[in-house]
Chains A and B, each alone.
Chain A
Amino acid sequence: MIDEGKPIFVQIAEQIEDDIIDGVYPAETQVPSTNEFAAFYRINPATAGKGVNLLVDDGILYKKRGIGMFVSDGARERLVAKRRDAFSDEYLRPLLAEAAKLGIGAEQLTRMIQTAADERPATPHIQTTPTASPSKGVSA
């Protein structure tokens, strides 16, 4: 689950962001503690704390003293907006670079995207996952 090359704390922050976008942690719910994240991902607790603090600095999470970390109101909407801004750089450009390498033109690529989209079963916008906290058993 943790891959090399990217700071682990950034990956922890992204993982929590993903879970907020997916609706695992709705607004005003508590997220697992730093120590729970550390144990689950098998990483140093300070590293996990750094990831959580990244989201606190961004206003995505906020701290309730003596209780824990909670998802801010409107966090999901802000994360979706941020990810949309990054979509072109992170997904479209690499896709186009690979397509160009293979001689796939923009028009053909558009058709391929349309075909793939048609084949894809309709999925609800927000996926709800039954567990609100990460469970053991997912391989690291």
Chain B
Amino acid sequence: MSAAPAPTSIAPAVQVSGLTKRFGSFTAIDDVSVTMKPGRIHGLLGRNGAGKTTLMQLITGQDFATQGDIHVFGEKPTENPRVLQNVCFIKESQRYPEDFQPKHVLRSAPWFFENWDAEYAEQLVDEFRLPLNRRIKKLSRGQLSAIGVIVGLASRAPLTFFDEPYLGLDAVARQLFYDRLLEDFSEHPRTVVLSTHLIDEVANLLEHVIVIDQGRILMDEDAETLRTSATTVVGPRGAVDEFVRAREVLHRDGVGGLASVTVAGLSASDRSQAAAAGLELAPVSLQQLIVRKTDVRETGIEQTA
């Protein structure tokens, strides 16, 4: 009965252009254009209040845009069942009906997700040690997050959003989530969007990274490209200053006669030149890079919180 349009591998899973969302005088999303290719794990990263959740709500048709276009598998998402049955949005603040138990969530999930794998959900319930017959109100924060993670994985929706899915999950459970995500994604490729603050933990899982800051897209790059896009040069102040003179400096630090300066990407010959000058080169992690780019103290933009 459901004629779900199979998402083709060429068309983008999500295409957003000129998107703006205002709440009164506050602009949460400011002229954003972004494309998400199918069959990839995307990271949607940024600081608190940057607009990540608003953007995901708009893409999943839970809110109307003030301006701009959104296409999900080629169609507008709002009030469109053809799109919505292909989308799963796991959010941090998911609410459930009063007196619901986890088993009720798992029992109703197949109504919404046609790819729902009940057996896989059961396996995940065991692994996350989720009590099925306890009232959801009585669950711990971590157990509540586990429900979301299980639904997000077992639904196998062609487009799955995880918005800070693991509040309260311990390190073991988070690792379990990452392992199962990679494993299930390998077997059932789909478009995944992972929004998180724990950038270091997920950096290697991502194929594409979108960084949003103050409602605007700050970075939209291949994860591999970003990994090598910045380097920290460490050494005697004079030599470091000499080396970075003609380069784009992202960050500057130092102690005594020692300077540590983060610069945009270096070529192989830049590297040997630095080595010849006795300078040390240290890699910059994705997390450090994003901190450098979104910290107002770094960019010099004055702002009062």
Contacts and interface: CB of A to CB of B under 8 A. Distances in A.
B283 A7 contact: no
A35 B284 CA distance: 27
B224 A38 contact: no
B228 A44 contact: no
A107 interface: no
A63 B283 CA distance: 34
A101 B228 CA distance: 28
Nearest to A3: B283
B248 to A, nearest CB: 18
A35 B207 contact: no
A94 B178 CA distance: 38
A5 B186 contact: no
B183 A44 contact: no
Nearest to A94: B275
Interface in A86-126: 94, 97, 101
A25 interface: no
Given A38-B186, A39-B182, A46-B207, A4 B224 contact: no
A41 B284 CA distance: 20
A23 interface: no
Contacts of A101: 278
Nearest to B225: A7
B87 interface: no
Report the interface size class on chain B. Answer: 20 to 34
Given A45-B182, A46-B40, A47-B224, A5 B207 contact: no
Interface string A1-20: 01111111100000000000
Interface of B: 40-41, 178-179, 182-183, 185-187, 204-207, 223-224, 227-228, 231, 275, 278, 281-285
30 contacts: A3-B283, A4-B227, A4-B283, A4-B285, A5-B231, A5-B281, A5-B282, A6-B228, A6-B283, A7-B227, A34-B186, A35-B187, A38-B182, A39-B179, A39-B182, A41-B204, A42-B178, A42-B204, A43-B182, A44-B41, A44-B204, A45-B186, A46-B40, A46-B207, A47-B204, A47-B207, A47-B224, A50-B224, A94-B275, A97-B275
Q: Which 5 A-B pairs have the closest CB atoms?
A: A5-B283, A4-B283, A35-B186, A43-B204, A44-B207
